[in-house]
C-alpha cells in the first residue's frame, strides 16, 4: 500500500518504480489534494499571491536546472516521434522561462475571485443570506507536452483556491517535474498547504482512468489536447469535465454587409493564425450579396493560398474553388482550407451554424441593426461576433486575465475559462436562533 | 420511422401503441425540443408570461377534465402498490388545481433571467464585449408521481427560455397528460413555438435510456426522485445532470453556543418536517459544552420521540440513547432518528461534516464570531447556517421564487435551482471591422 501522508510527488522524487499499486497511488494523490483543498479554501489572497511571485522568482533562479531537465526531454523527443514544431514548443530557454515567470506574476496581480459576495439580502424576520464565491475544490488537469502549461495551470488553479493534480504529457515530464519542484518548494516556504500542487509521478496511461473514477475526491477534470483525449476523458469521467472540443467557426456575410470589411475580417479570421480553435473554418454568404462579395473574398483567400471548398451555388463565383463534400461543413481544418456556402437568409445561416458548428465562435458582418440582433440571439455559440474577427474569442481579450481553456460546453462555464470559472458558490445564512415555522 | 414534424405528444394524443420505434420516437422528440429551444431563446418575456397566466386560467377552466383524468390514475394506484401517503400526493381536487395555477401565476411575476447583461466592457480600440444570460436550451426533466410538478417544471423551464421534455411517473401519467394538454393548447394560442413543452408519451423505462444518449440535443437532465433513479441517470447520461442526492445535514453545537438556542434549532431542524432533504440527521457537540448541552438537547429530542444513536462519548450524556454504528454517520434517515457525536474541536466538526455529509446544508450554533467565520469557510456545503435551522435551505427563502430542485453538485448550480440556474451565458462582441493583429 502506497503511504499517502508522505507521498513525495510534489517534491519530484517519486519515480515510476516507487509506485507499487497504481490504484492506491492515484487514490492517495486525490485524497491529499482534497485535504489541501480545504486548507486552500480558507487561505488569504496575500499568501497565494506571495507564492505566485516567489515561484516566478524561483523559476528564474533555477533556470539552469530547468533547462537541464528540459534537455532530457528534448533528447528523448525523437523516440516519441515529435514533429519539429512540437519539439520547438517543448524547448525551454532563459527567455521562455522568463515568460513563464511573467505569467505567474500576472496571475498574482489579478483579483482573487474567492470570497466575492455575488449577492445577498436580508429576509423579513432578519435572516441574512449571502451567496459567496468559493473554490470548486480539486482540479484534475490533463495536458500535452508544453511545459509552460504546467506553471500556468498550477498558478490559475491555486489562485482560484483549488488544489490541482497535474497530469502532463510524457514528452515533457522532466521539464514539468523541474517546474513543479520549484513551485512546491515555494509553496512550503509561503505557507500553502502541502499537496496544493501535485504532478502525477507516472506517465502510465492507466493512471488517468484511475483518477477519472474518483468523483468523491475530484470536483472537475479539465483535459487539454486533441479531440480523442477529450472524448475519452468525457466518456470515462465520473465527475464534471470542462471540455474544449473543436472550433468549427463561421463568418456569415449578411446581405447588408460592407464588402471590404467582410474581406478583411475573413482574411484575418482564416489566415492570421490557422492552427487555433478560434480561426474561421467556414464562410456563409447571403445570396443577395454573393455575386458581388464572393469573387472579392475568394481573391483575397487565394492570395493567402487558402483552398476553397464551395457548394454548388458558391462554386461559379469563386476563382480556383473546388466542390465541397457534405463532410466539409463539419470540418475543423486548422490549416489553409475553408468551406464556403451561399445561404438564402440570415435564419438559414443561423440554422447551418447551429447544425454544423461547434458552439465556439461565429461572426456576422452586417450594417443592419436588426440582422446583428437576430444573429446574436439565434446563434447558439460561446461567443458571437458582430463585425469583428472570430480570433477575438480569448480570455485576454474578454478581460479574464488568464485562462485555463475555452469551454465548448454550455453548463457551468462557456467560452474562455479563467479564475472565476474555477469557482462555485455557497449560501451563507446568518440568524439569531431562527427556526422555521 | 416515426414522423417527427407532426409528433402529437404535446396534444396528448399519442398513445403508447402509436410508438413503433422507441429510438426514433425519442430522437424526434428531442429534435423537436431543440428546434423549439432556438425559437424560445428569442422570445419576448411578455409572451412567456402571457402563456403562464393563460395556462393558469386554463387549468382552472378545465378542472373537471383534469379531475376525471386524475381519477383514472387514482383507480390504478393500487396496481402500482402506492402507499396511502403517495395516493394522497397524487390526488387532485379543485383546491389543489387552484394551487397549481397560482404557482404558474407566481412564475409569471418573476423577472425574466434571459437577456440579463451579466457584465460588459469596452476594450482599448473600441471592441465592445457583453456577457449575456441565455437559456441552457433543452431540459430533460424526470420526476415521480406528483402531478403538480408537471405544471411547475414546465413553467420554470419555459420562463427561463428552455424547451422541456417531461418524463413523469406512470402513476400520474393521465393527470400529467391532462395538465400538459392545457399548457400545450395555451402555448399555441399565445405564440410559443410548437413543442416547447412535451410530455413523453410512453412510460416505458427504456425511453429514459434513449433520451440520456442524446447529448447533442439535450443540454441538461434533471432527475427528481429517489437516490436509485438519480444514480442511474447520472451513470447513463451523456449530458450534464443536475443531481439532487441525499441531504445528510448536520447541526454543530460549538463550545460558545447559547444552549437554549441550540435546543430550539435542533428540535426545529430535526422535527419540524422529517421527510425532507434539509432536515437535520446528525448532531455534533463540542466536548467542552457536551456535559451541559447534551442532556438538555436529548430531553427535547426524546419529547419528540426521536431515536438517538450516539457515539461512546455522547452516549452517557443522553437519557434513552443507543449506540451508533459506523454506518450511522452517513445516514439520511428522513424519519425520527438522529446520530449524535461529541467532537474535540470546530475543525474536527468540519472534517466530520466534509467526510460524512452530503454537501447539502449544515449549521453551527455559536456566539463566537471567529468560530462562525471558520465554520462557514471550512464546511463544503451548498448552504452553511449560523444560528439558524437547516430547514431554511430553500429556493423561496433564498429569494429564487420558484425552484426545480436543490443541487448537491458544486458545478454550474449549487443549492436551490431556480430560473437563473437554468440559464448559461454567451459573449457578444461588437466591432466595426475589428481584426486581430
Given CA atoms B295, B299, B300, B302 in this order, what sign does their dihedral have?
positive
pLDDT in the model for residue A5: 34
Mutate: best of A132, A432, A436, A437, partner B, most B CBs <10 A: A436
Centre a 10 Å sphere on the Cβ of residue B316 and count the other Cβ atoms it contains.
Answer: 11
Query: Nearest chain B Cα to A44, which residue?
Result: B377
Distance of alpha carbon B225 from alpha carbon B230, whole angstroms: 7
Residues paired with A130 in a beta bridge: A120, A428
pLDDT of residue A227: 84
Over range B271-280, report the average pLDDT: 94
Q: How many C-beta neighbours within 10 Å does residue B49 have? A: 18
Of A267, A387, A399, the CB nearest to B430: A387
* Residue A401 confidence class, pLDDT cut points 50, 70, 90: confident
Which residue on chain A is closest to B389 by alpha carbon? A435
Do the Cβ atoms of A434 and B129 come within 8 Å?
no
Q: Which of B233, B279, B376 to mutate to test the interface with A (most CBs of A within 10 A)?
A: B376
Q: Which residues of B touch A375 (CB under 8 A)?
A: none
The verdict on a CB contact (< 8 Å) between A397 and B123 is yes
Alpha helices in B110-246 (DSSP H): 147-159, 173-190, 205-212, 227-236
pLDDT value of residue A16:
52
pLDDT of residue A17: 54
**Are B265 and A435 within 8 A, CB to CB?**
yes
- pLDDT by residue (tens digit) across A232-243? 999 999 999 998
Decide if A268 and B435 are in contact by the 8 Å CB cutoff: yes
User: Using CA atoms, how far apart are residues A12 and A177, in angstroms rounded to an integer?
Assistant: 6
For residues A423 and A171, what is the distance between their CA atoms, to the nearest angstrom? 31
- Which residues of chain B have a CB within 8 Å of the CB of A121? 399
Average pLDDT over residues B374-400: 94
**pLDDT for residue B1:** 30
Q: Would the CB atoms of B425 and A414 count as touching at under 8 Å?
A: yes
Mean of the per-residue pLDDT values of chain A: 93
The alpha carbon of A146 is separated from its chain's Cα centroid by a whole number of angstroms, namely: 14
Q: Is the pLDDT of residue B57 over 60?
A: yes
Cβ partners under 8 Å of residue B80, min gap 6 = B170, B171
User: Do the chains contact at B393 and A434, CB–CB below 8 Å?
Assistant: no
CA distance A424 to chain B (A): 6
Q: Is the model's pLDDT at A206 over the cut of 80? A: yes
> Can you give the residue ranges of every domain in chain B?
8-236, 249-392
- Chain A residues whose CB is inside 8 A of the B426 CB are 376, 380-384, 414-415
pLDDT exceeding 90 applies to what percent of chain A? 85
Spell out which residues of chain A touch residue B265, defining contact as CB-CB under 8 Å: 433-435
**Residues found in chain A:** 437
Task: Give residue-wise pLDDT tens across range B142-165.
Answer: 998 789 999 999 999 999 999 999
Confidence of residue A93 (pLDDT cuts 50, 70, 90): very high
Q: Which of A8-22, A247-261, A389-403 has the highest mean pLDDT?
A: A247-261
Residue A368 φ/ψ, nearest 5 degrees: -95, 125
Chain A nearest-CA residue for B437: A272
For the cut 50, the answer to whether the pLDDT of residue A11 exceeds it is no
> Which architecture characterizes domain B249-392 according to CATH?
3-Layer(aba) Sandwich (3.40)
Distance from CA of B155 to the nearest CA of A (A): 21
Q: CA nearest A39 in B: which residue?
A: B378
Q: Please say if the pLDDT value at position B288 is more than 90.
A: yes
Partners of A253 in beta bridges: A285, A365
> Does the beta-carbon distance from A426 to B415 stay under 8 Å?
yes
Q: Do A392 and B436 touch (CB under 8 A)?
A: yes
Shortest Cα distance, chain B CAs vs residue A186, angstroms = 24
Q: Do B129 and A385 touch (CB under 8 A)?
A: no
Does residue B9 register a pLDDT over 80?
Answer: no
| Subunit contact A268:B436, Cβ cutoff 8 A | yes
In this prediction the ipTM stands at: 0.90
Which of B41, B121, B411 shows the shortest C-beta gap to A412? B411
Pick B386's closest partner by Cβ from A398, A425, A429.
A429
CA-nearest residue of chain B to A36?
Answer: B378
* CA A369 to each of CA A162, A254, A381, A384, B198: distance values in angstroms, whole numbers, following the listed order: 43, 11, 20, 15, 34
Of B270, B393, B413, the closest CA to residue B340 belongs to B270
Task: Check CB contact under 8 Å for A388 and B268.
Answer: no
Give A354's contacts in chain B (Cβ within 8 Å): 38
Q: For residue B381, list chain A residues with Cβ-Cβ distance below 8 A.
A: 426
Residue A146 is predicted with a pLDDT of: 86
Whether residue B388 and residue A42 make contact (CB cut-off 8 A), yes or no, is: no
Which residues in B lie closer than 8 A to residue A427 (C-beta atoms)?
A: 382-384, 393, 398, 414-415
Q: Name the residue among A123, A377, A436 with its Cβ closest to that of B389.
A: A436
* Cell numbers given for B49: 408570461
pLDDT band, residue A226 (cuts 50/70/90)? confident
Q: Mind listing the pLDDT tens digit for each residue in A115-168?
A: 999 999 999 999 999 999 999 999 999 998 789 999 999 999 999 999 999 999
Of B301, B308, B300, the C-alpha closest to B337 is B308
pLDDT band at A7 (very low <50, low <70, confident <90, very high): very low
* pLDDT tier for residue B412 given thresholds of 50, 70 and 90: very high
The predicted pLDDT at position A9 comes to: 42
Across residues B402-412, what is the average pLDDT? 89
Task: Return the DSSP state at B278.
Answer: T
**Shortest alpha-carbon distance between residue A116 and chain B (Å):** 13
Q: What is d(CA B220, CA A149) in angstroms, rounded to the nearest whole number?
A: 31
DSSP B323: E
Which pLDDT band holds residue B17 (cuts at 50, 70, 90)?
low
Q: Which residues contact B422 (CB under 8 A, 6 or more apart)?
A: B113, B135, B136, B139, B156, B157, B160, B162, B220, B404
Please give the CATH number for the structural domain made up of B8-236.
3.40.605.10
Interface size between A and B, measured as CB pairs under 8 A: 204
Amino acid at each position: 500500500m502506497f503511504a499517502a501522508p508522505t507521498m513525495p510527488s510534489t517534491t519530484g522524487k517519486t519515480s515510476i518504480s516507487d509506485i507499487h499499486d497504481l490504484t492506491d497511488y492515484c487514490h492517495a494523490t486525490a485524497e491529499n489534494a482534497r485535504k489541501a483543498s480545504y486548507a486552500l479554501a480558507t487561505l488569504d489572497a496575500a499568501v497565494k499571491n506571495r507564492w505566485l511571485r516567489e515561484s516566478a522568482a524561483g523559476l528564474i533562479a533555477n533556470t539552469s536546472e530547468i533547462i537541464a531537465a528540459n534537455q532530457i526531454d528534448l533528447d528523448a523527443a525523437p523516440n516519441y516521434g515529435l514533429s519539429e514544431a512540437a519539439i520547438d514548443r517543448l524547448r525551454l530557454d532563459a527567455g521562455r522561462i522568463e515568460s513563464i515567470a511573467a505569467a505567474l506574476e500576472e496571475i498574482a496581480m489579478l483579483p482573487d475571485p474567492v470570497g466575492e459576495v455575488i449577492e445577498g439580502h436580508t429576509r423579513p424576520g432578519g435572516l441574512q443570506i449571502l451567496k459567496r464565491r468559493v473554490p470548486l475544490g480539486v482540479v484534475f488537469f490533463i495536458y500535452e507536452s508544453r511545459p509552460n502549461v504546467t506553471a500556468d495551470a498550477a498558478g490559475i488553479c491555486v489562485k482560484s483556491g483549488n488544489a490541482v493534480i497535474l497530469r502532463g504529457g510524457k514528452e515533457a515530464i522532466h521539464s514539468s517535474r523541474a517546474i513543479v519542484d520549484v513551485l512546491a518548494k515555494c509553496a512550503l516556504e509561503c505557507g500553502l498547504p502541502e499537496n496544493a500542487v501535485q504532478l502525477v509521478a507516472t506517465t502510465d496511461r492507466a493512471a488517468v482512468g484511475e483518477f477519472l473514477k474518483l468523483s468523491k475526491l475530484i470536483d472537475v477534470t479539465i483535459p487539454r489536447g486533441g479531440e480523442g483525449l477529450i472524448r475519452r476523458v468525457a466518456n470515462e469521467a465520473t465527475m464534471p469535465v470542462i471540455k474544449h472540443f473543436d472550433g468549427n467557426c463561421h463568418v456569415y456575410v449578411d446581405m447588408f454587409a460592407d464588402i471590404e470589411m467582410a474581406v478583411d475580417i475573413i482574411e484575418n479570421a482564416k489566415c492570421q493564425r490557422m492552427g487555433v480553435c478560434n480561426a474561421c473554418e467556414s464562410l456563409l454568404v447571403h445570396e443577395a450579396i454573393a455575386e458581388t462579395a464572393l469573387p472579392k473574398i475568394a481573391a483575397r483567400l487565394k492570395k493567402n493560398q487558402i483552398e476553397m471548398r464551395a457548394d454548388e451555388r458558391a462554386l461559379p463565383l469563386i476563382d480556383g474553388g473546388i466542390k465541397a463534400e457534405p463532410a466539409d461543413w463539419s470540418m475543423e481544418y486548422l490549416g489553409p482550407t475553408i468551406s464556403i456556402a451561399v445561404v438564402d437568409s440570415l435564419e438559414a445561416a443561423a440554422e447551418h451554424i447551429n447544425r454544423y458548428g461547434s458552439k465556439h465562435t461565429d461572426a456576422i458582418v452586417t450594417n443592419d441593426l436588426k440582422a446583428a440582433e437576430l444573429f446574436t440571439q439565434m446563434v447558439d455559440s460561446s461567443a458571437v461576433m458582430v463585425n469583428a474577427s472570430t480570433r477575438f474569442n480569448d480570455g485576454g481579450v474578454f478581460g479574464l486575465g488568464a485562462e485555463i481553456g475555452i469551454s465548448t460546453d454550455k453548463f457551468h462555464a462557456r467560452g474562455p475559462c479563467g479564475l472565476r470559472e474555477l469557482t462555485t458558490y455557497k449560501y451563507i445564512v446568518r440568524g439569531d436562533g431562527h427556526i422555521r415555522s
